[in-house]
Amino acid sequence: MLQQVALITGGAKGIGRGIALDLAAHQWKIAFCYRTSEADAQSTATAIRNQGGEAWPILCDVSDPDAAKSVVVQVEQKWGRIDALINGAGPYHRINLLEETVDGWIEMFDGNLHPIFYLAQAVAPGMKTRKAGRIINFSMANADQMISQPDVTAHYIAKAGVLILTRTLAKLLAPYGVTVNAISPGFIDSGSAPPGELASMTKRIPAGYIGTVDDTVAAVRYLLSDDARYVNGANIQISGAWGI
């Protein structure tokens, strides 16, 4: 039986690392992209190999369309296929909209939305030919509410766009046996936010506690499984009922 191959963006740390390690435990081959976290990438690669998986950390800025397409070609040439594309990369910053810079505005779209388009276009031909594949995109827990977000406006609009792009790709690729779904985390203890900030949010979460990386990984595991073969265009919120 052929080992399955995953390409994960933002796989060096946090949720992406958690997904990589979970797949490694099931003997997947894992290519993951990183931009600046060289030490984290090497640590994750070692952990993947210790779990029994094959690891290939790739320095790549997927906000560059040529680089994004190139990384897909590299993985397909090396391992012959990509069974799962997991779009986990996504920069974030907090600033009032009226103080946002043009560069900061563009960065949120270049980092959170555009790479999904580039990478999905690049992996689609192979998945269509094999009539199988999984694409999982990351949005945010309240992005479907379309509410005002004065301090994270560009990021929020980009994450809302992820949901529209997910549904569109799902409809286009479903005839070929490919599923495209979104996962929308709320407050997750993934190492990206200060502990104090997370603790202050607990009282606003109906479940009463902060989510873990494992909570998110479990949703990914489900969407990659045969149990989810008919789940397509969905948005799974991992938020303890926050943001609904």
Catalytic residue among 34, 92, 118, 156: 156
Which structural domains are found in the chain, ordered by start?
5-238 (3.40.50.720)
When pLDDT is cut at 50, 70 and 90, the band that residue 198 belongs to is confident
The residue type of 236 is: I
pLDDT tens digit string along 45-69?
999 999 888 999 999 999 999 999 9
Mean pLDDT (whole number) for 172-190: 96
Contacts of 243 (CB under 8 A, 6+ apart): 140, 141, 142, 145, 184, 186, 237
pLDDT tens digit string along 98-111?
999 999 999 999 99
Residue 77 scores a pLDDT above 60 = yes
- What 3-state DSSP class applies to 192? coil
66 contacts 115 by C-beta, under 8 angstroms: no
Q: Is 222 a catalytic residue?
A: no
When pLDDT is cut at 50, 70 and 90, the band that residue 1 belongs to is low
Quick one: pLDDT at residue 2?
Answer: 75
Question: Could you tell me the two tokens for 104?
Answer: 């900061």
Tell me if the pTM is above 0.75: yes
